[in-house]
Amino acid sequence: MARILRAASCALVLLVSGCSVPDVKSLQGDPLNPEAFRPQLVLIDQVVFDAGDVEDVSRDQVAQALLVLATAAEADRANTIARALAPELRTLSARVTGTRGGTSYAASRLPEQWLRIRGRLFSDAAWFRRSSADPVAPAVAGPPPPSALRPATTEERRGLDSTLTSLVLLIKTARLDLPNANDSGERRGFSDEAARELVVDVERLGPTPDVFGVDNFYRAAHIAATAAIGDLQMLASLRSAQTSGRETLIGNAEKHLAKAQAAAAKMSKQ
């Protein structure tokens, strides 16, 4: 629907301007990426929306920038919407060149025409100007803002890694213990040893981190490891259970451990 509206509006503009009108049904194409032409767009926005008088140097720079955009609009033969707007850009460039020094662009309605063409040719960008009240964006995009989430500390990483290693060994031992009867010495020995090791694992991990405090992958790994510890704590506390029930708890612990390991592998680096 957006493409059809752009095609129809473009055809209307061509009719009004007196240019040759292509077959409306053949007009197609996506908006251009403004970041690819940021220097030209920022320059045009800065000068055209300036409330002051026209200066010769900036006028020539804007005229040239418009010609650069016209050439870009013609580059993709499949994007007939952009190609239909190219003549308008060249016409606008000629009008800018013909604007006399000491006058204003606002008086010649160039800002309105530029807004219309820019809105049809490019995807919207937060840094576009729409009036002299808007700030002038930098011609080169700055680095992305730093994330508010800190990476896990060395101590937190060490605690997580040690816990995951411990859980791997506990799960392996739990599977080896499956054939042992509930009342056997081997079974009781496993339960007591696992319970002690899991207490240490809880201390290694520490409390669950806040949602908005630390790297999301560290938090996900922490939560999954905690769930695996819970599965094994329940397993260790069972004094009478069928083998299938014990195997289910081990399987759950393995799934939670796999999630913790996957999240830990994606953690951001310090």
pLDDT of residue 9: 46
CA torsion sign for 56, 60, 63, 65 is: negative
Q: Contact at 8 Å (CB) between 118 and 129?
A: no
> 19: pLDDT confidence band, cut at 50, 70 and 90?
very low
Q: Contact at 8 Å (CB) between 220 and 205?
A: no
pLDDT of residue 74: 93
pLDDT of residue 148: 66
* Distance (Å, whole) CA 25 – CA 157: 59
pLDDT of residue 2: 42
Of the candidates 245, 248, 163, the residue with the CA atom closest to the CA atom of residue 199? 163
Q: pLDDT digit string (tens) for 86-132?
A: 999 999 999 988 888 777 787 778 899 999 999 999 999 999 999 88
| pTM across the whole model | 0.48
* Distance (Å, whole) CA 168 – CA 254: 8
pLDDT of residue 34 exceeding 90? yes
CA torsion sign for 80, 82, 85, 87 is: negative
Residue type, 5: L
Q: Contact at 8 Å (CB) between 121 and 85?
A: yes
Of the candidates 262, 258, 266, 263, the residue with the CA atom closest to the CA atom of residue 168? 258
* Distance (Å, whole) CA 67 – CA 211: 50
- Under DSSP, the state recorded for 139 is S
> 1: pLDDT confidence band, cut at 50, 70 and 90?
very low
pLDDT of residue 146 exceeding 80? no
- Quote the percentage of the chain above a pLDDT of 70: 87
Which residues partner with 214 through β-bridges?
A: 150
